[in-house]
Amino acid sequence: MVPEDIAGYVEKLKGRFAELEQKRGDPAIYSRAGEFKSLSQEHRKLATLFSDFDAWVKALKDIADNHELMASESDPEMRELAAAEIAELEKKAASLEDGIQLLLLPPDPNDSKNIIVGIKPAAGGDEAALFAGELCRAYMYFAEKQGWKVEILDQTDTDLGGIKDISFSLSGSDVYSLMKYESGVHRVQRVPETESGGRVHTSTVTVAVMPEAEEVELDIKPEDLRFDVFRSSGPGGQCVNTTDSAVRVTHIPTGLSVASQQEKSQHRNKEIALRILYARLLEQKQAEEAAKHAADKRSQVGTGDRSERIRTYNFPQNRVTDHRYNVSCFDLPKVMQGELDLILDQILKIACEQRLEELRNQQ
């Protein structure tokens, strides 16, 4: 039997779906790219919800029918077939219910946005820089599996092949809704290749996941920005460009500053620096708003808090543990090969249940 609260939520959303259909039918919407993208993603999400809900209702009905058949059927072979079908249907129904609960959550205003990811080594020196590179590659593999577009915006490598600093953008469907759980401090515990004594070292890497800002979201005046140009430098400070192509942009009111030297073109580096700066300013603005309205720390998960240790990658134990949701995965190599869903699926399920419980309590 379908729970009344879920059936009620779905029924209420049919009005919103009709409203979206009407808005999408207005030719003027195509001139507002950001709004059209957001409406289209919400429309697609609701269409999936209704389809999955119908399939779930049918699966529950089929389960009930098979139970009736087992109660009335005297043929052992028929009873066995009904029992086998019930097992398959229950598995299908459970999977559909998990997906429906996730789709029922009110949309995060950032879910339809593309993102900029920043990764930096923190404690641990060269070992932290090496893990920063491995974590970056894991995200790249995950993005490829999701069909997202990846663009490296800025990158500084270390002499040993690690990453000192990297920023890249991810664009596609549901990018922020999945990657927002990556913001924070990632801790790695393993024996470094350079460690002759076999001792386990602990290093940390910070990850920032920032939704890309749209012009209407930030009121930035031209006079609030200062641009400085300089020559690009490589490892050890060596000059790698004979022209002043690198650009640093500073937002004077906040003091936030971003430099880009990835490209040979000054114009391109200016564009990249502005994209990253705007994303950081939006992140700061949203974090301040979240802090004002948050009832407790849990409701700020996913807002880009980089001071919180969120996850540990323990190589000797082949374990990845997310400390916010107290979930673990014991297949670390697969996670590092981009199968982040091994840990994310657990996180999404718990986050969904917590949010639905909050919504029920608010009613």
pLDDT per residue as tens digits for the range 71-114:
888 888 888 888 899 999 999 998 888 788 778 777 777 877 88
Longest dimension (CA), the chain: 88
190 and 319 both lie in a single domain = yes
* Assigned domain for 296 exists: no
244 and 358 both lie in a single domain = no
Paired tokens of 258: 């971003």
Identify whether the C-beta of residue 273 lies closer than 8 Å to the C-beta of residue 248. yes
CATH number for the domain harbouring residue 269: 3.30.160.20
316 and 236 both lie in a single domain = no
Q: Would you give the DSSP letter of residue 212?
A: P
* Assigned domain for 163 exists: yes
**What span, in angstroms and rounded, lies between the C-alpha atoms of 178 and 344?**
8
The whole domain housing 177 covers 115-212+302-362
Paired tokens of 113: 């946005």
**pLDDT for res 318:** 95
Q: For the chain, what's the residue count?
A: 363
Identify whether the C-beta of residue 300 lies closer than 8 Å to the C-beta of residue 294. yes
**pLDDT for res 243:** 62
98 and 12 both lie in a single domain = yes
128 and 70 both lie in a single domain = no
96 and 240 both lie in a single domain = no
With a CB cutoff of 8 Å and minimum separation 6, the contacts of 178 are 146, 340, 344, 348
Last residue of a domain, one of 104, 133, 149: 104
**pLDDT for res 296:** 40
Last residue of a domain, one of 51, 84, 104: 104
Per-block mean pLDDT, blocks of 10 residues, the chain (363 long): 71 87 85 78 88 92 90 85 90 87 76 88 89 94 94 87 90 88 92 76 91 76 87 56 77 89 84 89 81 50 54 94 94 94 90 76 63
Last residue of a domain, one of 271, 291, 311: 291
**What span, in angstroms and rounded, lies between the C-alpha atoms of 313 and 332?**
7
* Assigned domain for 297 exists: no
* Assigned domain for 109 exists: no
Residue with tokens 């999955």: 52
Task: Of 123, 116, 110, give the one whose Cα is nearest residue 203.
Answer: 123
